[in-house]
Chains A and B, each alone.
Chain A
Amino acid sequence: MNAKIEFTLNGKNVSVELEESKKLLWVLRTHFNLTGTKYGCGEGYCGACTVLINNSATRSCATTIGDVAGKNVVTIEGLAQGEKLHPVQQAFADHDALQCGYCTPGMIMNAVGLLNDQPTPSREDIILAMEDNLCRCGAHNRILDAIEAAANEMQNSK
């Protein structure tokens, strides 16, 4: 049965009428046409679908639309402030921390979630936080470098 679900999506108040059990991943990709959030495994193992819910990195394939009622959801499309990239996005570009780019939105959202929780993580903290985000091209070392650089940048610009 459909329910009216209101939440904030990339800074805007939105409202949908859907079954509460629908997966957030597919609602984002089909209903809102926000295709930056990727399907990778559908079961929470790979992290390609990671978004922020109330500032915490969360797997949208393992989250229902009902779960986000009243909450604040940010996808990769909502991360930049206008033309200005988020420091994590900028650091990924500056470090060539991507190849095919398919895991990239999930990697970036997971890293932003980490830095929200822990603004000055050690290299080990970053590895631990990113451990369950999978990349097949092998950009791992550059992704770690990019997240370290973004953390420094965010501290310095405070």
Chain B
Amino acid sequence: MDKAKNIQDYIEGHTPANTIKRRNFIQLLGGGIYVFFHAGAALKLMAADGDQRQLPDDFNAFLRIHEDGKVSCYTGKIEMGQGANTGLAMMLADELDVAYENVEMVMGDTDLCPWDMGTFGSLTTRMFGPSMLAAAAEARQVLLELAAEKLGTDVDKLEVAEGVVFESRNRAKKVTYAQLANGQRIERVAKKDATVKDYSKYKIMGKPKFRADSMEKVTGKAKYSGDMRLPEMLYARLLRPPSHGAKLISVDTSEAEKVDGVQIVKDGDLVAALHEDPEMAEKARGLFRAKFEEADKPVNNDNIFDYLKERAPEGNVNINEGDLSKGEELATSVFNTEFHDGYVAHSPMEPHTAMAYFDGDKMTVWAGTQTPFPAQSNIARILEMEAEKVRVKPPYLGGGFGGKSAHGQALEAAKLAKLTGKPIMVDWTREEEFFYDNFRPAAVLKVNSGIDDAGKITFWDYHVYYAGDRGSEILYDVPHQKRTVYGRGWRAPGIHPFDTGAWRGPGNSTNTFARETQVDIMAANAGIDPVEFRLKNLKDQRAIDVLEAVAEMADWKPAKSSSGRGFGVAIGSDAGTYVGHIAKVDVNKETGEVKVLKVWVAQEMGFCVNPQGATIQMEGCINMGLGYALKEVIEFDGGKVKTKNFDTYEIPRFSWIPEMETKILQRTTPPQGGGEPAIVCMGAVIGNAIYDQTGARLLEMAMTPDKVLQALKNV
């Protein structure tokens, strides 16, 4: 049997599509009604991706009403556990008036879907969603026009339910979407001003819907990248440097070559042992004898914050309102505080994994990634191939949290597949996952602020180094304020000893920790209850709403902090959504261990599409947030990552999980992000609760037992 042909059989729907033109998609997919649309900010952000490809300028997603009446949406967004496939299908079904079960989301396959920058920033529902609704409204209009013609009536006399169009007055006069789409080949581009339904008219959205993929996931049938199989597939184990910045001087693979059945690949710095048995590939890698020249980076856990301050890039003033010196004159108490936040790993349970196969003409890569299209571009660039000759197919993704926007494993698999002509599986070990993770950056924040005798904040001088500006908005009503951001976003190449990147709600957990702790310090000093102090200084109604709602949920009893009770409060804003948190903790003063007993969260996210999905995201944020707040610390020495597995990197466990109560404040304003907002307050709310119980103020995350004990000594 011809091997290449045999393998092709496994690559369903493998067609050389030119991803630029609309008609190519139609040729590829067949008949029906197509509505092409374009989701908001995507094109603007594309430039930042450095993508040099010719791109469609009028669409990056499309809907298809199939000839059998089923509806598909093709988008480059991906599902990574956040429930996007469920929420988007609900939106589409609702706007089009079809059954939820008849809607399918086709996500992330670079051959089947138009270009998309990737899935991050809680953009899927709030940016992509409204554009998709507009396209669905357009499709519905096309169907109504076809129905009017077929039924010999006017569009305004028609109604739709579950994919059947009928006359309002004569319900027997009807035609189905399937009948209307059959034999059609209609192509439309969604109008920007398409009229979508009023939020109050939706029947599917706004009601809880369980996730669509549970059955596959509880039976072990769901396929992740590492579960892909092709005939003659080889597992790859690559030579890894001992530290970031190390240069390979020489490598001797002669012992590794003696391993039965192994294939060794050497191509510059790329040295790999390939074997059909992953344990044999690992054994061969263990026999590599390599010499590296390591870079000298005089930085470690002990001096990181001084190191970062010494190398601070120039600041950019983002906000400068009023006159700080005037604000300082008005203040009767001034507070100057420095906050620190350490490196944190993404550590999804599935390490980065990809399988690649090159058939001599086209490269196909199955990769768990948040960014299939940028992965496609990068693979094409390093292999000097046309992007159209590279197909990235994302199977299920075993957690991303921002870490799988980077796709180094896909590049490695593609390189090896091209060099060998064999299907190659690159599945990073946990140690490799920690080594190559682009950590949430360590950061320094300096806040100088003051209040007057009435407890009003008179000025706010805020400096954030390395975390970026997301979440650095003050939220409070302060007449004299200035905000200076040092370094662009969460990356500072050449300064951190390893790569850093976007971690769920990037920058925001760090900024919110500093802001909400500083506000708490001022409230405590003024002798005012921390909820009352915040309300006194807030004018933003959405912030007031979430704070009042969460105080009510927790049956908040006003008291000045520290009250000895162990209650903390914090508010935040991320991805267009507002959150208010209250936590109750119990600090063990002997050991410094902090047990979070209960967390209450109120969230206002505009119109909530799927309350079930949004609630689960809030719960996930509470649980995941315990880790960065209390325990997660990357140990490193220069470019060496000393943290290698979960024995030393402690992520939240069952015994840590607090009781929780969540509430969504439903609105009829456009939907906002839901995957990240509820994580941003977790550091501040726990720190403030620790203070409330003990009087110990924690100014550095993670708030590990040794830091808690240190702070207790200073009380």
Contacts and interface: CB of A to CB of B under 8 A. Distances in A.
Given A77-B219, A98-B217, A108-B218, A103 B226 contact: no
Contacts of B621: 138
B82 interface: yes
A138 B224 contact: no
Contacts of B653: 131-132, 134, 140
A127 interface: yes
A26 B277 contact: yes
B655 A127 contact: yes
Nearest to B229: A33
B98 to A, nearest CB: 24
Contacts of B210: 93, 96
A48 interface: yes
B159 interface: no
Interface residues of B, number: 57
Most buried by A among B219, B224, B351, B401: B219
A113 interface: no
Nearest to B278: A26
Contacts of B194: none
Contact of B657 (A38, A79, A144): A144
A155 interface: no
Interface string A120-146: 000000111011111111111111100
B477 interface: no
Nearest to A93: B214
A80 B220 CA distance: 11
Interface stretch (B314-322, B391-399, B539-547, B572-580): B391-399
Interface string A22-42: 110010011001111111111
A98 B348 CA distance: 14
B427 A39 contact: yes
B652 interface: yes
Given A26-B279, A144-B657, A100 B396 contact: yes
Contacts of B222: 101
A121 to B, nearest CB: 13
B450 interface: no
Interface of B: 80-83, 210-211, 213-224, 226-227, 229, 276-279, 347-351, 396-401, 427, 429-430, 612, 616, 619-624, 645-647, 651-655, 657, 660
Interface of A: 22-23, 26, 29-30, 33-43, 45-46, 48, 75-77, 79-80, 85, 89-90, 92-93, 96, 98-105, 108, 126-128, 130-144
20 contacts: A26-B278, A30-B277, A40-B350, A40-B351, A41-B646, A45-B646, A45-B647, A75-B220, A85-B218, A98-B211, A99-B616, A102-B349, A102-B350, A102-B398, A105-B220, A108-B218, A136-B348, A136-B349, A136-B399, A140-B654
